[in-house]
Amino acid sequence: MEDAEETPLGPVADELLSLVADGVIATDERGSIILFNKSAEETFGYKAGEVLGKSIDILLPARFHSSHQVHIQKFSSSISRLSRSMGGGRDVIGLKKSGEEFPIEAGLTRHDLAGRIILTVVLRDISERKQIEEARRLVTHEISHRLKNLMTVVNSVVSLTARASESVETCENLLLERLGAIGRTVDLMLLDDWSGADLGDLLKAELAPYRDYRGENYRLSGPEVKIPPQWALSLTLALHELATNASKYGALSRPSGVVQIEWRISQQPKGSMLQLDWVESGGPLVNPPDRRGFGSDLIERCMGRSKTRLSYNPSGFAAHFQVML
């Protein structure tokens, strides 16, 4: 406490420092604390009387004590630099009275007052800023990952469409339709911070162009379920292909036709499984195709052949999917 009594700072200066928003801590050349302003009290959880005369090390995690002492001694004896940022490009970590560690931003200055070397640290708790930076980093990483996946899907769609199209015009029209489906799904996922898309919303978006005036040519039945991003685009493309084919050749091409879409969730050893059934009825008589078409290839490519079953029943086409959520 003797050092605290020798501080050259008077009561007026102490009162002014209590108004400073940043923490201000001063030590002598040995590292003993001789000033601890109000903001420093709020930041570290100590009252000034608890730390005055004690080593500055009380405010640092033990693993930094040795290196901090070396830095302080070098800075105290230096004849060139009077100020510098603490950390040297590294995060500076403080230690609260509660034992909690937290990141700080600090600047260190050296003064010669009345023949004594005084070191002053002006510091700020940057925990909130670090949390924001980490959240931004995670979002950036996630967006990059999602965009790469999106481009992979787009490249696959472009390649498959070009191979199956008989003319440039046909290729263009199909691409616009399929890329439009992808775009609608991306919009749905962006509404929920790219965390996925509601299955009911995906189905309604794909079937909306084919809805009759009574709204009875398709029926949806199942619990609310969010499709994760890694499946949303693939499922959308498969549903888009099913809806397009149904409007051209299946149940949605006839006023009497109906598409019944039902889904359910079952618990499996590896997690939750979505089982979705697309069943058409009331449309033209269905004949099994002579050869595999582009639509079947695209659907199985999107969903995986082991997770897809396509049935060409005379009464109506049906598709069954299984997806691990």
Q: Are 294 and 270 in contact (CB under 8 A)?
A: no
Mean pLDDT of 39-62: 93
Q: Residue 276 has what pLDDT?
A: 95
H-run or E-run covering 303: helix 294-303
The distance of Cα 248 from the centroid of its chain, to the nearest Å, equals: 40
The sign of the CA dihedral 79, 81, 84, 86 is: negative
195 or 214, higher pLDDT: 214
Beta-carbon contacts of 259 under 8 Å, excluding residues fewer than 6 positions away, are: 207, 217, 218, 219, 243, 246, 250, 251, 252, 278, 279, 280
What per-residue confidence (pLDDT) applies to 3?
A: 47
pLDDT at 24: 92
> Of 106, 1, 116, 111, which Cα lies nearest the Cα of 48?
1
Q: Does the model's pTM come out above 0.85?
A: no
The string of pLDDT tens digits covering residues 8-48 is 445 655 666 666 778 999 998 888 999 999 999 999 999 99
Q: What is the pLDDT of residue 283?
A: 92
Judge: domain 2-125, CATH 3.40.50.150.
no
Instruction: Give the pLDDT mean for 129-154.
Output: 71
Give the integer Cα–Cα distance in Å for 92 and 248: 66
Instruction: Give the pLDDT confidence score for residue 194 in this predicted structure.
Output: 61
Classified as helix, coil or strand, 282 is coil
Domain boundaries, the chain: 2-125, 130-324
pLDDT over 70 for what percent of the chain? Answer: 78
The residue-averaged pLDDT of 104-108 equals 86
Residue 185: φ, ψ to 5°: -65, -40
Pairing label, strands 218-221, 258-268? parallel
Residues 72, 108: Cα–Cα separation, whole Å: 10
**251, 283 in Cβ contact below 8 A?**
yes
Q: 178 or 322: which carries more pLDDT confidence?
A: 322
Residue 5 has pLDDT above 50, yes or no: no
Torsion-angle region of 268 (φ positive above 0: left; ψ -120 to 50: alpha; else: beta): beta
pLDDT band, very low/low/confident/very high, at 58 (cuts 50, 70, 90)? very high
Quote the mean pLDDT of the chain: 81
pLDDT tens for 79-101 read 555 655 655 545 689 999 999 99
Second-level CATH architecture of 130-324: 2-Layer Sandwich (3.30)
Band the pLDDT of 248: cuts 50, 70, 90.
confident
